[in-house]
Amino acid sequence: MGDDTKLPDLDAISDPAELRSLMSAQQDMIVDLQAQLAEMRSMLFGKSSERMPPIEQEVRKRRIKKGKKGKKADYRLKTRQKRRKRQEQKCSVPTEEVLHPVAESELHCPHCHGARFGELGDGEISFEWEYVPGRFVRFKHVQQKKACSCGGHVVTAAAPPRVSDGVKYGPGFHAHTVVAKMGDAIPFYRLAKRLSREGIPISRSTLCDIFHRCASLLAPLHARMLELVAIEQYVNADETPLRVQAKGKTRRAYIWDFISDKLVVYVYSPGRSGQTPVDVLGDSAGFLQVDGYSGYNSVTVPGQRIRVGCWAHARRYFWKALETEPELSRWVLDKIVELYEVEYDAAEQEVLGTERHLSLRRARSGPILRTLERWLTEQAPQHPPKGQLGKAITYARNNWESLSVFLEDARLSLDNNVSERQLRIVALGRKNFLFVGHDAAGENLAVLQSLVASCDINGVNPEAYLTDVLMRVQTHPHSALDELLPHRWQPPADPVGEPATP
């Protein structure tokens, strides 16, 4: 404990009012310490089953109890659409037919003792998924030379196009390197080891050069994505720490994500200042769904963005309070599940994002919010602000206006989980490659992570996309740059004029 937690000598205090004030402060301190102890015990010794379950699981349990056994419906409209695209992409894997003929020794009938067998239907059909190892190719480019018979003139065939002058790695190799790190969070030392098993001698530093070269070439696309996300009416945002190498140690920086319906745009910043949301969104109008962090206050002001709160964050606070105030916390958690149940019903009725959806919210979610608001007002004075339930109540009351905004527009989600999900790959990378070397490396990471993540939500193969775009972006007209963005990109045509399969 620090000096601020040492108990003073009560005998030295003669003023009753001062004594009562001190005892009240000590009681608040005890409650806070008890809550911290309970949370630490849960983290260290708690079972995995004691962790907060996903809201989808809670809603489905509630629906089963009510006898609702309809089809599973995803209340997140954007998530449902993106999942469908990913499923379609998975189904594009080519199918190869393997014929297994009947052995000659089996062509003998025990009934007629004959051997006159004919085809019977299509045969027995089954499917098997198999992995065929990918292969790297070393192309030997030979530029033909010809000389005039007079000996006065020599011509040489044009050099093959390359990602950059003097680079001996092709665009597909560059794309593979980027996706391995940004899509799969593989550190370069581990990737170099894997490539060496394929017979490709390459160092970690060379892989770094490839990575940064790709970011430099594709930076204009990232800049355009930032422009497009700023004019979207509905944006989700969040941020997470990232370590940056410093002299003798590392320092903390941040990666932010700004998400629209079609794009995921990451931004690197050396600190957590609210200047980053200002730089990205400026004075644009619309909705911005975030947590309670004050760094977004500068862009959620009258005349600009309307702040949309996150019920998932509010739910976490009340979940932590279960240890100390189980009955009251459970009551609030059940009310939050009721809010999500409305979303599931709208998804089941296939009215997400429509006026019917908005009517459902106002008719069913509105009364739940009014009940919760009255309860929070009544309970606030009864719980120490430093206790777990006190913290939960304070968070909900401080963000109540933003937590209620979803009643105004059916497009808005109840939570900001989409942003948190898009930061998981950053967190996984942080765990695997620990830190980035410098600020420029962090900016390059944001550029490439944006393109790979945006490919993912649009059902585009990021390796096929990057292989094509790395070459095209160098000569593509700037006025038509949108054609190369992941949600508008079209695969190049094959030799007979048909689009190639990504």
Q: Average pLDDT of the chain?
A: 86
Supply the pLDDT for residue 6.
59
Residue 28 vs residue 376, higher pLDDT:
376
Pairing mode of beta strands 249-259, 264-269: antiparallel
Q: In the structure, what pLDDT confidence band is assigned to residue 48 with cuts at 50, 70 and 90?
A: very low
Is the model's pLDDT at 3 over the cut of 50?
A: no
Residue 84 vs residue 106, higher pLDDT:
106
Would residue 440 count as lying in a domain?
A: no
Specify the long-range contacts of residues 391-398, CB closer than 8 Å, at least 24 apart: 391/35, 391/317, 391/320, 391/321, 392/314, 392/317, 392/318, 392/320, 392/321, 392/329, 392/332, 395/292, 395/313, 395/314, 395/317, 396/314, 396/317, 396/372, 398/292
Supply the pLDDT for residue 35.
67
Secondary structure (3-state) at 266: strand
Q: Which of 24-33, 165-174, 320-329, 457-466 has the lowest mean pLDDT?
A: 24-33
Q: Taking residues 205-211, report their average pLDDT.
A: 95
Q: Which residues contact 218 (CB under 8 A, 6 or more apart)?
A: 447, 448, 451, 466, 469, 470, 473
Would residue 334 count as lying in a domain?
A: yes
In total, how many domains does the chain have? 1
Give dist(CA 44, CA 33) in Å, integer: 16
Supply the pLDDT for residue 486.
97
- What are the start-end ranges of the H helices in 5-76? 16-45, 55-65
Q: Which residues contact 204 (CB under 8 A, 6 or more apart)?
A: 188, 189, 192
Is the model's pLDDT at 58 over the cut of 90?
A: no
Would residue 344 count as lying in a domain?
A: yes
Backbone dihedral angles phi then psi of residue 366, each to the nearest 5 degrees: -55, -50
Task: Tell me how far CA of residue 119 lies from CA of 86, 101, 126, 390, in angstroms.
Answer: 39, 11, 18, 76
Give dist(CA 111, CA 99) in Å, integer: 27
Other Cβ atoms within 10 Å of 365 Cβ, number: 21
Is the model's pLDDT at 141 over the cut of 60?
A: yes
pLDDT per residue over 229-248, tens digit each?
999 999 999 999 999 998 88
Residue 13 vs residue 302, higher pLDDT:
302
Give dist(CA 483, CA 221) in Å, integer: 10
Q: Taking residues 407-421, report their average pLDDT.
A: 95
Would residue 361 count as lying in a domain?
A: yes
What the block records as the tokens of 69 is 């056994």
Other Cβ atoms within 10 Å of 202 Cβ, number: 17
Domain that holds residue 393: 310-414
pLDDT per residue over 446-502, tens digit each?
999 999 999 999 999 999 999 999 999 999 999 999 999 999 999 887 654 445 544
pLDDT per residue over 346-400, tens digit each?
998 999 999 999 999 999 999 999 999 999 999 999 998 888 899 999 999 999 9
Tell how far CA 331 is from the center of its chain: 31
Would residue 328 count as lying in a domain?
A: yes
DSSP label of 161: P
Q: Taking residues 206-224, report their average pLDDT.
A: 96
Would residue 47 count as lying in a domain?
A: no
Supply the pLDDT for residue 45.
64
Would residue 342 count as lying in a domain?
A: yes
Q: Are 225 and 263 in contact (CB under 8 A)?
A: yes
Would residue 159 count as lying in a domain?
A: no
Residue 333 vs residue 84, higher pLDDT:
333
